[in-house]
Chains A and B, each alone.
Chain A
Amino acid sequence: MKFRLALKGAALAVATSVAGMAMAEDPTKVGFVYVGPIGDGGWTYQHDQGRLAVEAEFGDKVETIFQESVPEGADSERVMTQMALAGADIIFTTSFGYMDATNAVAAKFPDVKFEHATGYKRLHPNVATYDSRFYEGRAVLGHIAGKMTETNKIGYIASFPIPEVIQGINSYFLHAQKVNPDVELTVIWVYTWFDPAKEADAAKAMIEQGVDVITQHTDSTAPLAEMAKTDGIIGFGQASDMGEYKPAPRVASIIDNWNPYYIKRVKAVMDGTWEQGHSWGGMAEGEVVIGEITGPVPDDLKAEAMGMVEAITAGDYHPFTGPIMKQDGSVFLAEGEVATDEQLVTMDFYIQGITGEIPN
């Protein structure tokens, strides 16, 4: 028992001295914990692009380490601890489900900075959270979907019923409905961020129901591969450009660009100016990017979509601007009223016109 404790103490001493040395002369060590494989072509791929951007920006001054396909729960806690023990100065944990684990490990390593993507818990001064305003991109896709659908049926492959996803569904439908009052939305919940087989099944089921424009809130390219099998079905790249499905079925995409944020935060650690906070960047910060709008979309519609991007980027237009009714007919936003961030991050209802219920 005593021997064990002594060992533990020695190891901790080594770990801290390693961390101490890292600050003095060694490169800044940056860790990334990924929920999917870096080759998923979507969510994790984009985070890994951010990691590479950090390497490109700082060269020898940084060393990055990463671990892919880390299950949420006890496993992620162990991976983070091992990274901290390996001398990481800052660790980015890139999935919502890592929230409790990130905070638990942060408590044990007060000198290591932790950045948790899409979460809201910052229980310790060394935990920050960050997210992107994906709903801004969904608004543009919704506009394109509403104009492009011929069957007036559009689809949304949804992952988990959390506010971030519900924002996306509402924003997508709201802007489709604005340009096409007859449009109907089908939502299929797959309860996964990355499962090519399930995602493809969802796309297939929608196509069989007559849906001809599909967007997804999951990370693989499988739905696009499924859409490519049928003529006239279009979809969008999610998280990354998914350019291999250009010009159709992929006619546009929402690209998560984490590069500016990662570079900024690693710089802050190097300069010793890192502070806890919550970052929620969107088009204005360059974090949400609409990928090239391709062929099947006519030029005038393309121009409209680009106009929306400009307006959102400039801050002239907020996708959630009233009047907007909730599904039950009550008022969400009055005429001209703009949703607050607080209203958005707690969003747990559909807007008027969406049929079906949010599972709970």
Chain B
Amino acid sequence: MIRLEKRPNPSRLWTALTPVLAVLLTMIAGGILFAILGKDPFEAIRTIFWDPLFNEQFAAFSRPQLLVKAGPLILIAIGLSLGFRAGIWNIGAEGQYILGAVCGAAVGLAFYPSESPFIFPLMVIAGALGGWAWAMIPAVLKIKFGTNEILVSLMLVYVAEKLLASMALGALRNPEGGGFPGSRNLSQHPGTDNPELIAGTGLHWGVATAFIAVILAYILLNRHILGYQIKLAGQAPRAARFAGVNPNLLIAICLGLSGALAGLAGLFEVSGPAGQISIDFNSGYGFTAIIVAFLGRLHPVGILLAGLLMALTYIGGELAQFMLGLPAAAIQAFQGMLLFFLLGLDVLSNYRIRLTGFAAKGAS
């Protein structure tokens, strides 16, 4: 018989090992899936994990794209991880991402056609504030009325999507766009653009900010009293109270901070890679970031790696689709497997597997 035995403390070895194991298992299970679909599994796995990085035909383009795709994921996931560690569940990063983009873009468009170098910093501030304000709605409701922040933040995503559509069709619509929805292009206008900082690297301000956020989050969690309080509140809420942690303040800080980071991600995206506010500007970064946060074990360095890995499966997945003719749904299933195996294997860090025979039974 197989028995699970709870470990007194989560195993450090397994905590570090399970993500690697999950990736390997995903490759195997995914390979079987691709083989059933009639594709060469080795070629498919190579196309997804190897070609974007090293294929000479694509790598020069897709390597920088890895940063472009991973940047917002990492930035949002870092913010979410702080709350998740404290047991504060912000599921609505997608909405905060939208609001950050809308507020930032609105500031940039308000100054049009000025090309002043002061506009972009203002847009950054507006973007962060927009995301922050949207996240403060569930925070205030939770503090004042004890509402569930998971539901409120999630529902606000749908409100944000409607707001985005209304902005793309109304207030922020390009007056020279022939009545079509969508704002002016911010990334093609000096002053409001978020260009590549070093040509050919994909490194724009959003990616730089994501890296800075990783470092700051690491310092916060390991060196700062707030980081200690966050960890304590998550692991032992009652003890945290006795230790003088103000739970309401923590809710406001965690939700506000994650909202601000998601808002920043939205602003950098709309002024850079996406270029404009459009009806369906958001493409799920806020939700994918939840996966990235857990894939990275809620640890800043882990999130950095997880964000890059996730971006790799996206870009490699696209290559596999049109190079090998794999259906998009198979790629999505492949990405889903990754999370499935990771969460499934989590058991190993918290439990020990015991093989027990009848002898053991007799002894008990």
Contact = CB atoms under 8 A, between A and B. Distances in A.
Nearest to A5: B200
B322 A74 contact: no
A72 B278 contact: yes
A120 B58 CA distance: 30
Nearest to A38: B327
Interface in B163-195: 165-166, 169-170, 173, 178-181, 185
Contact of B59 (A7, A66, A192, A348): A7
Interface stretch (A155-163, A225-233, A246-254, A306-314): A155-163
A74 B274 contact: yes
Contact of B280 (A10, A72, A104): A72
B322 A69 contact: no
A159 to B, nearest CB: 10
Contact of A11 (B59, B165, B166): B59
Interface string A1-23: 10011011011101100100000
Interface in A9-46: 10-12, 14-15, 18, 31, 37-38
B315 to A, nearest CB: 7
A97 to B, nearest CB: 6
B181 A10 contact: no
What's the interface size class on B, roughly?
35 or more
A359 B179 contact: no
A67 B283 contact: no
A11 B275 contact: no
Nearest to B161: A191
Contacts of A86: 57-58, 322-323
B122 interface: no
A82 interface: yes
Contacts of B269: 74
A77 interface: yes
Contacts of B173: 360
Nearest to A36: B328
A270 interface: no
Contact of B328 (A69, A100, A160, A348): A69
Contact of A78 (B169, B276, B318): B318
Contacts of B185: 100
A82 B60 contact: no
Contact of A68 (B57, B201, B328): B328
A209 interface: no
B273 A77 contact: yes
Nearest to B331: A69
A196 interface: no
A174 B169 CA distance: 25
A65 interface: yes
A37 B180 CA distance: 25
Interface stretch (B61-69, B338-346, B347-355): B61-69
A5 B173 CA distance: 38
Contact of A67 (B169, B280, B281, B318): B318
B181 to A, nearest CB: 6
Contact of B61 (A38, A81, A104, A120): A81
Contacts of A71: 280, 283-284
A360 B315 CA distance: 35
A83 interface: yes
A316 B69 CA distance: 53
A315 B297 CA distance: 66
Given A68-B328, A72-B278, A360 B169 contact: yes
Nearest to A73: B274
A203 B308 CA distance: 42
Contacts, number: 117
B198 interface: yes
Contacts of B318: 67, 78-79, 82
Contact of A191 (B170, B275, B279, B325): B279
Given A73-B278, A100-B276, A346-B179, A11 B68 contact: no
A8 B60 contact: yes
A75 interface: yes
A53 interface: no
Contacts of B170: 360
Contact of A82 (B58, B201, B280): B58
B179 A163 contact: yes
A120 B269 CA distance: 24
A85 interface: yes
Contacts of B279: 97, 160, 191
B331 to A, nearest CB: 9
A82 B69 CA distance: 15
A31 B319 CA distance: 13
Given A86-B323, A162-B181, A359 B169 contact: yes
A78 B165 CA distance: 24
A97 B315 CA distance: 20
A97 B182 CA distance: 9
B329 interface: yes
Contact of B329 (A7, A8, A37, A346): A37
Interface string A117-139: 00010000000000000000000
B321 interface: yes
Interface string B270-292: 00011110111101100000000
A123 B315 CA distance: 27
Nearest to B179: A348
A83 B57 contact: no
A7 B201 CA distance: 12
A74 B268 CA distance: 12
B322 A161 contact: no
Given A7-B60, A10-B56, A85-B61, 11 more contacts: A4-B60, A11-B60, A18-B57, A65-B322, A65-B323, A73-B274, A74-B273, A82-B319, A85-B58, A97-B278, A191-B165
19 contacts: A1-B198, A4-B200, A7-B56, A10-B60, A11-B60, A12-B60, A14-B57, A66-B322, A69-B328, A71-B284, A74-B273, A78-B69, A79-B318, A82-B62, A86-B58, A100-B275, A104-B275, A160-B181, A191-B165
Kindly list the 10 A-B residue pairs having the minimum CB-CB distance in the complex, ordered from nearest: A74-B273, A11-B60, A8-B60, A71-B283, A69-B328, A65-B322, A348-B179, A73-B274, A67-B322, A68-B328
Interface of A: 1, 4-5, 7-8, 10-12, 14-15, 18, 31, 37-38, 65-69, 71-75, 77-79, 81-83, 85-86, 96-97, 100, 104, 120, 160-163, 191-192, 345-346, 348, 359-360
